[in-house]
A and B are shown apart, each in its own frame.
Chain A
Amino acid sequence: DTEVTQTPKHLVMGMTNKKSLKCEQHMGHRAMYWYKQKAKKPPELMFVYSYEKLSINESVPSRFSPECPNSSLLNLHLHALQPEDSALYLCASSQVSVGSQSYGNTIYFGEGSWLTVV
């Protein structure tokens, strides 16, 4: 069983709705991620948090708003989304990069949240 859990598993929302995706990890990691994945494509990085601070924002539209309340929780707030935002949203966690390669840099993913915008 994955130690990164995401809720909800499936979400359908209208373009005027406000909803949130939630993620929790129990691995003691201090880096957490949001990825977006369209069908038959690799995951695309959206945001990275290190020690609860936003360290990477890959020019994501402001209708996606991340939040890291503590070291084990990560939220993605959704507002005024478009149908093209429909995708699988993956949360992940890892140790914070220590500037050298190691097995410890492995990123572990949750089961994903399937989002449909109607």
Chain B
Amino acid sequence: AQKITQTQPGMFVQEKEAVTLDCTYDTSDPSYGLFWYKQPSSGEMIFLIYQGSYDQQNATEGRYSLNFQKARKSANLVISASQLGDSAMYFCAMSSLYNFNKFYFGSGTKLNVKP
């Protein structure tokens, strides 16, 4: 069975500082994908970054990077130089080898950026 765990219900960060959002996962599949999404209060789920289980390098997209530690089964999101517009809900998600169209979501982390 697949499982995604986000242990931080809410976090605060000062504007312009970096912040790490934790995500651990559990799967017995040898091949899987890991994703992070941002959801502002408006409701849209915005795709941020993807990491494949076979990728050797950590994924980066602008101010977002994914700290992938395969042995620990963790896929933490790092946001550098936080901005007020980063305040939102963040979801970690995983897709499985046997059905890549079925995503498993974590419970989410609410990030608040303070001016």
Q: Shortest beta-carbon distance, B43 to chain A, in Å?
A: 4
Please tell me if B64 contacts chain A, counting CB pairs below 8 Å. no
One of B16-24, B66-74, B76-84, B91-99 at the interface? B91-99
**A105 and B44 contact, CB distance less than 8 A:** no
**B106 and A42 contact, CB distance less than 8 A:** yes
Task: Given the known inter-chain contacts A42-B106, A109-B45, please indicate yes or no for A96 contacting B97, CB distance below 8 A.
Answer: no
Please tell me if B100 contacts chain A, counting CB pairs below 8 Å. yes
Interface size on A, residues (CB 8 A): 33
Please tell me if A23 contacts chain B, counting CB pairs below 8 Å. no
Name which of B42, B43, B47, B52 has the most chain A CB atoms within 10 A of its CB: B43
Please tell me if A98 contacts chain B, counting CB pairs below 8 Å. yes
Please tell me if A111 contacts chain B, counting CB pairs below 8 Å. yes
Contact of B31 among A96, A100, A103 (CB under 8 A): A100
Return chain A residues, CB-CB under 8 Å to B35: 106-107
In the complex, residue of chain A having the shortest beta-carbon distance to the beta carbon of B50: A103
Residue-wise, chain A 46-63 has the 8 Å CB interface mask toward B (1 for contact) of 001010000110000000
The 5 nearest A-B residue pairs measured at CB: A42-B105, A97-B100, A109-B45, A112-B43, A111-B44
Residues of B participating in the A interface, judged by any CB pair closer than 8 Å: 31-33, 35, 37, 42-47, 50, 52-54, 89, 91, 95, 97, 99-103, 105-108
